[in-house]
Amino acid sequence: MAVLSSKSKLLKFYEKEGEIWEHKAIKEVMTQEGRTSAYWFSNARFWLIELEANGLLELVDTKIDEGEMEKGKLLHKYKITEYGLSRAESMLRD
């Protein structure tokens, strides 16, 4: 089995879970990796933006963070796209 990068694990999480707020996905994946500092959470938010920019995730909703990650900042809800599903299936097999 291939070792997946954190960004790939986030994509796999969206493949499994469907539509979900970023803070839930980030906390789940990064906690599994033992990376729980604000530094890693910030990096993970950036990776989600990259996945969206590359057409693998789609933004479906936003709201103001009331303390889930960073109070007062914008939270994003994403879902995996058809393209993201095809990439996850072809490149990120378990």
| pLDDT tens-digit map of 44-60 | 999 999 999 999 999 99
CATH code: domain 6-91 is: 1.10.10
Question: Is 60 exceeded by the pLDDT of residue 94?
Answer: no
Tokens of residue 93, six digits: 């097999």
pLDDT, tens digit (0-9, with 9 covering 90-100), for 74-90 = 999 999 999 999 988 87
**56 burial class (0-12, 13-18, 19+ CB within 10 angstroms)?**
buried
Mean pLDDT across the chain: 90
Edge-first strand listing for the sheet containing 74-80:
20-21, 74-80, 57-64
| Contacting residues for 51 by C-beta, under 8 A, at least 6 apart | 7, 10, 11, 57, 78, 84
